[in-house]
Amino acid sequence: MSLHSIVPTPGAPSLRLLITGANGQVGWNLQRTLGPLGDVTALTREQLDLADLDSVASAIRDLAPDILVNAAAYTAVDKAESEPELALAINATAPSRMAQELAKSRGLLVHYSTDYVFDGDRPLDTPYNEDDPTRPLNVYGQTKLDGERGIIESGCPYIILRSTWVYDTRGKNFLRTVLRLARERDELRMVSDQYGAPTWARSIAEATTIILARCLEQKSGSDHWPTGLFHLTAAGRTSWAEFAEAIMAEYDDCCSWPADTGEFSAPLKAKRVVHITSDQYQTPARRPRNSVLSNAKVQQTFGIKMPDWREQLRLAMQDAIR
C-alpha cells in the first residue's frame, strides 16, 4: 500500500498530526515519515515540557490534533531510580492527561512503551506476547507501565507500541556510546547475559507511519479508530556484547567506503569486546535478562514485518555515511 494513497483529496480537511519529543530518536525520524499523512506539527521538549500538565492540556486543545504521536519520554533508566517523581510525571501522568484530552475529541493517541515492563525471567527462546504478565524490575519500567494503564483507562482511541533497545546514528544511545568508547579504549567490556532486539529508530518511525495509514483506512470504513497494544521491535535476538561487536564490524566496513563521513570515518582503537556478566557491571536499575518481544500481533493486524536487527544496523550505519 502506498502512503500517498491516503492523502486527503483536494478540498478535504487535512489531517492534523502532533508529534511530541521532536528532537528525540523516534520523534526526529517521525518528522520525516509522517508528512504524507497530513499537516505535521512537531514540538520539542523546550516547546512542550511534559512535566507541565497544564501546558500539555493546552497544547492539545489549541492544536486539536486528529492524531497525537507521543515520542517524548523520560528514558534515563538508571537516573530514574533517583528521580522517580519526574520519571512518573513524564512517562505516566502526562500520557494519561493526553489521553483524557483526546478522549473528549476522539483523537487517536500513539504512544511508545518498552520491554522493561517485563522482568525477563523466562526462557530465551520464548519472546514476550502483549498479554503476558508484566512485572517491571525498575522505576523506569514501572512508570512506562503506569503510562500504558492510564491511556487504556482513559477511554481514548490508542495505539501503544512497545519496542526494545532503541538506537539511532544521532542522539544519546548505545550505538553512539560504543563508537565513542571504541575510539578511546583498547577493548570494551560489555554485558553478555542480557538479550534483546536492537531496533533502529527509523524503522520504528516508518512502521508507525504504515500503521497509521492502515488505521486511517479502517476508520474511513467504520468511523472508529482501531485500538490496541502491540510489540514493535527488530526481528532476531542478541546480547549487548554481541551488539557492540556487530556495531564495530559494521563501522569498519563503512570506513572502507570512499567518502568523507565525518564522525563515521576515523578508525576505531578498540579491537575486541570482552564479554562480562550483569553481576560484573552493577547499575542502579536492574535490567531484564530476556527483553525479546514477539511481533506476531502487529504483523497479523497491520501486515508489518520488521527486519532482522543485523539488517537494520547495516542500513543505519550505511545511512550515516551517505
pLDDT tens for the chain, 322 residues: list them: 344 444 444 444 589 999 999 999 999 999 999 999 999 999 999 999 999 999 999 999 999 999 999 999 999 999 999 999 999 999 999 999 999 999 999 999 999 999 999 999 999 889 999 999 999 999 999 999 999 999 999 999 999 999 999 999 888 899 999 999 998 999 999 999 999 999 999 999 999 999 999 999 888 877 789 899 999 999 999 999 999 999 999 888 776 655 555 666 678 888 899 999 999 998 999 999 999 999 999 999 999 999 999 999 999 988 877 6
AA letter at 166: V
Number of other residues whose CB lies within 10 A of the CB of residue 131: 8
Question: What is the rounded CA–CA span in Å between residue 307 and residue 199?
Answer: 9
Residue 135 within a domain: yes
pTM, two decimal places: 0.91
Domain contains 189: no
Considering its fold, how many domains does the chain have in total?
1
Is the CB of residue 45 less than 8 Å from the CB of residue 75? no
Element containing residue 68 per DSSP (H, E): strand 67-70
Q: Active-site positions?
A: 140
Residue 275, classed as helix, strand or coil, is strand
263 in any annotated domain? no
Letter string b/e over residues 46-56, b meaning 16 or more CB atoms within 10 A of that residue's CB: eebbbeeeeeb
Any idea what the CATH number is for the domain that residue 298 is in? 3.40.50.720
Residue 253: inside a domain: no
Assigned C-alpha cell, 264: 563515521
CB-CB contact of 251 with 307 (8 Å): no
Residue 284 lies in a domain: no
Nearest by Cα to 53 from 103, 96, 19, 102: 96
Residue 64 lies in a domain: yes
When computed from its CA atoms, the radius of gyration of the chain, rounded to whole angstroms, is: 20
In a domain, 126, yes or no: yes
The whole domain housing 303 covers 3-169+200-236+292-307
